[in-house]
């Protein structure tokens, strides 16, 4: 069977995982990243790197955008994809980046009339969880488009939720990430607290997993915190970017996110300490640095 290649723009932690899962499902992948080492890595795992976004766009019916920020998504779509595709292409664009949901909706309103079929499709889960099939897709947009790309989504995710219109996927992702981030911070603080009370942190982590305080971050981030293994599966800088998006959205609707502000302060301190590229479990390093001044 001849299967059209799927294009991926952005081959970082998540983009590479998407590529690997699609390739493992027998779906060819072409990809682009501004970093040539990431393009080379795509070739190593069996994908086909493209020299430009324009080259990639013409070769695929469905294009996944997995870049870092809202501004990068807008640049990719408006300054590269649209000029390359022209009017009425019918190409499907799946925006899997975590973005400002209002700007994503406004972008969609500009590009859909020009013939792009568009879904807001951020993903909940670390890169390792997505690699293992435990990622969750949060879909905003036309259900008919989601049905059209169901074989692609089946290859990428075991679970997905259609949460509403374009922008609602991003809104759901921010709310999920708010809860997740606070669970992560609570775990870091609890581990350090137990350690300073004289408990073995690895042994205490097992106690916490079996207690009423359990959360999934104990599985995904607890071992990394205990071992001091901060190889990235979701970087501090990405989590901080998302925290600022949450704070901006909350301000727009008149909500104070007091606990999230503490989390953002901790992430900012990690970034100032040169830890922005580390896994977000590295917040435990800042928790350890915060001591009572005598």
Q: Which structural domain range is residue 35 located in?
A: 6-166
Which among 147, 166, 185 is the end of a domain? 166
Measure the CA–CA gap between 191 and 272, rounded to whole angstroms. 23
Give the number of domains in the chain: 2
Exposure string of 49-80, with b = 16+ CB inside 10 Å and e = fewer, is: bbeebeebbeebbbbbbbbbebebbbebbeeb
Do 156 and 123 share a structural domain?
Answer: yes
Do 119 and 11 share a structural domain?
Answer: yes
Do 90 and 23 share a structural domain?
Answer: yes
Q: Looking at residue 195, which CATH number applies to its domain?
A: 1.10.1040.10
Answer yes or no: is 224 within a domain.
Answer: yes
Answer yes or no: is 294 within a domain.
Answer: no
Do 278 and 155 share a structural domain?
Answer: no
Do 189 and 221 share a structural domain?
Answer: yes
Q: Which helix (H) or strand (E) holds 92?
A: strand 92-95
Do 279 and 199 share a structural domain?
Answer: yes
Under DSSP, the state recorded for 137 is: E
**pTM for this predicted structure:** 0.93
Answer yes or no: is 65 within a domain.
Answer: yes
pLDDT greater than 80 at residue 3: no
Do 179 and 150 share a structural domain?
Answer: no
Convert the pLDDT of each residue in 111-160 to its tens digit: 999 999 999 999 999 999 999 999 999 999 999 999 999 999 999 998 99
Convert the pLDDT of each residue in 31-73 to its tens digit: 999 999 999 999 999 999 999 999 998 889 999 999 999 999 9
Sign of CA dihedral 68, 158, 27, 144: negative
Answer yes or no: is 1 within a domain.
Answer: no
Using alpha carbons only, give the angle 142, 148, 153 rounded to the nearest 5 degrees.
95
Do 138 and 15 share a structural domain?
Answer: yes
Convert the pLDDT of each residue in 169-214 to its tens digit: 999 999 999 999 999 999 999 999 999 999 999 999 999 999 999 9
Measure the CA–CA gap between 16 and 22, rounded to whole angstroms. 10
Give the pLDDT score at 59: 83
Answer yes or no: is 54 within a domain.
Answer: yes
Which among 166, 195, 221 is the end of a domain? 166
Do 212 and 133 share a structural domain?
Answer: no
Do 134 and 22 share a structural domain?
Answer: yes
Which among 166, 185, 217 is the end of a domain? 166
Based on its alpha-carbon atoms, the radius of gyration of the chain, rounded to whole angstroms, reads 20
Answer yes or no: is 193 within a domain.
Answer: yes
Mean pLDDT, residues 208-232 taken together? 97
Q: How many CB atoms lie within 10 A of CB 216?
A: 14
Do 189 and 141 share a structural domain?
Answer: no
């Amino acid at each position: 069977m001849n299967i059209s290649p799927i294009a991926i723009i952005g081959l970082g932690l998540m983009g590479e995982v998407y590529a690997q899962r699609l390739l493992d499902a027998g779906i060819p992948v072409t990809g682009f990243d501004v970093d040539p080492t990431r393009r080379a890595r795509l070739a190593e795992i069996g994908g086909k790197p493209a020299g430009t976004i324009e080259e990639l766009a013409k070769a695929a019916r469905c294009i996944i955008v997995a870049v870092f920020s809202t501004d990068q998504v807008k640049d990719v779509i408006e300054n590269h994809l649209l000029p390359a595709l022209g009017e009425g292409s019918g190409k499907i664009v799946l925006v899997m980046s975590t973005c400002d949901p209002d700007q994503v909706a406004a972008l969609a309103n500009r590009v859909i009339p020009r013939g792009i079929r568009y879904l807001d499709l951020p993903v909940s889960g670390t890169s390792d969880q997505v690699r293992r099939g435990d990622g969750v897709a949060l879909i905003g947009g036309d259900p008919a488009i989601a049905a059209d790309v169901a074989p692609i989504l089946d290859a990428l995710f075991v679970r997905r939720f259609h949460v509403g219109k374009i922008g609602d996927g991003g809104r759901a992702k921010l709310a999920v990430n708010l809860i997740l981030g606070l669970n992560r911070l609570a775990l870091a603080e609890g581990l350090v607290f137990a350690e300073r009370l004289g408990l073995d942190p690895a042994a205490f982590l097992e106690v916490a997993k079996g207690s009423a305080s359990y959360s999934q971050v104990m599985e995904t981030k607890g071992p990394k915190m205990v071992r001091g293994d901060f190889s990235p599966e979701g970087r501090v800088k990405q989590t901080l970017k998302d925290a600022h998006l949450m704070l901006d959205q909350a301000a727009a609707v008149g909500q104070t996110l007091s606990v999230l502000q503490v989390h953002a302060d901790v992430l900012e301190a990690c970034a100032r300490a040169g830890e922005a590229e580390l896994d977000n479990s590295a917040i435990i390093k800042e928790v350890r640095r915060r001591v009572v001044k005598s």
